[in-house]
Amino acid sequence: MLLDADNITVKYGHDTPLKDVSMCVHEGEFIGLIGPNGAGKTTLLRVLLGLVKPKTGHISYTDARIGYVPQRGNLYNSQIPMSVLEVVRLGARDSAAALEALQRVSMDSFAPKPFTELSGGQQQRVAIAKALAGQPHILLLDEPTTGIDEASQHEFYDILRGLQGQGYTIIMVSHDVDAVLNLVTRVICLNQTILYDGAPEHFESDKYLPGLYKAQHRLLHHHHDAHGQEKHHA
């Protein structure tokens, strides 16, 4: 076992984004973390990364190194240009290791280019290379395909599939449920607590997700109706 999270509860003021969440991660697993917006997916990832301290519960790691691919919106958007090689070098012990990591995502020919001149899909591949350069055991990805075109998404998923084949353990937060179900070996569906944790084949989308989404829809409809009636009365 690489990682064991036990009864994690996170509170921000009156908000409780995570309540009694327990999960353990085994070597070679590809876990898809799904759930509606505001379900605490990113919070759980940040707890696993050590960026958020849980109110109760604890996490134990073996000495596994973690590679992190943040949401694309949080990536570099500075006035100061940074070359692709410099970006990957941040995660590597030397330039040779950085170049080797770039080769693994077929981006080595982009090494001298400024990072901000790449397309969204290319930036995400570089972000993967930066994570790989640190020779991690576990890769944690936060909504990695948000805002990139479909062809690039497929390329990106192929890269992840290849990495899993090479023995990497992967945890990916995503709202792209169909892609997740096709890709992963284990699905965790989260909405404050864990609703489902098991094989993707047995995950019944109708049972867990539409219910949640429907509840939101119903609220919306209700709101519209009330609004309409008010208009009518006026």
Partner 1 sequence: MLDILQYSFMVRAFIAGLLIAVTVPVLGTFLVARRYSLITDSLSHVSLAGVGAGLLFGGTPVLVAIPVTVGGALLLEWLRQKQRLSGEIGLAILMSGGLALAVVFANLAQGANTDFTSYLFGSITTTAPSDLIILACAALLSLAIVAFNYRGLQHIAFDEDSAHIAGYRVQTLNYVLAALTALLVVLSLRIVGGLLISALLVVPVVTASLFARSFGATIRGGVLLAVVAILAGLTVAFYAGIAAGGAIVLSSLVLLIGAMIIKS
In the complex, least distance from residue 95 CB atom to partner 1, rounded to whole angstroms: 12
How far from each other are the two terminal CA atoms of the chain, in whole angstroms? 64
Q: Which is nearer to partner 1, 76 or 120 (CB)?
A: 76
Compute how many residues bind partner 1; rule: CB under 8 A.
26
Binding part of the chain for partner 1, among 12-20, 78-86, 154-162, 172-180 by CB under 8 A, reads 78-86
Binding part of the chain for partner 1, among 16-24, 70-78, 167-175, 178-186 by CB under 8 A, reads 70-78
Confirm or reject binding of residue 76 to partner 1 (CB under 8 A).
yes
Q: Which of 4, 9, 61, 70 binds partner 1 (CB under 8 A)?
A: 70
State which H helix or E strand residue 30 sits in. strand 30-34
Q: Which of 4, 20, 27, 86 binds partner 1 (CB under 8 A)?
A: 86
Confirm or reject binding of residue 97 to partner 1 (CB under 8 A).
no
Which two structure tokens, joined as six digits, stand for 227?
A: 């609004």
Q: Which is nearer to partner 1, 57 or 76 (CB)?
A: 76
Confirm or reject binding of residue 41 to partner 1 (CB under 8 A).
no
Confirm or reject binding of residue 74 to partner 1 (CB under 8 A).
yes
**Angstrom distances, CA of residue 83 to CA of 69, 70, 72, 86, 112:** 18, 18, 17, 5, 5
Confirm or reject binding of residue 112 to partner 1 (CB under 8 A).
yes
95-104 long-range CB contacts below 8 Å, 24 or more apart?
97/133, 98/129, 98/133, 100/133, 101/129, 101/130, 101/132, 101/133, 102/126, 102/129, 104/129, 104/132
Which two structure tokens, joined as six digits, stand for 184?
A: 């992963």
Give the type of residue at 193: T
Q: Which is nearer to partner 1, 72 or 183 (CB)?
A: 72
In the complex, least distance from residue 133 CB atom to partner 1, rounded to whole angstroms: 11
Confirm or reject binding of residue 147 to partner 1 (CB under 8 A).
no
Which residue matches tokens 């949080």? Answer: 74
Binding part of the chain for partner 1, among 108-116, 183-191, 199-207, 218-226 by CB under 8 A, reads 108-116
Q: How far apart are CA 47 and CA 8, in angstroms?
A: 9
Task: Please enumerate in sequence order all residues whose Cβ is within 8 A of that of 40, keeping only pairs 6 or more positions apart, or say none.
Answer: 10, 17, 18, 21, 190, 191, 192
**Residue ranges that bind partner 1, judged by CB under 8 A:** 49-51, 66, 68, 70, 74-76, 78-83, 85-87, 89-91, 112-114, 130, 134
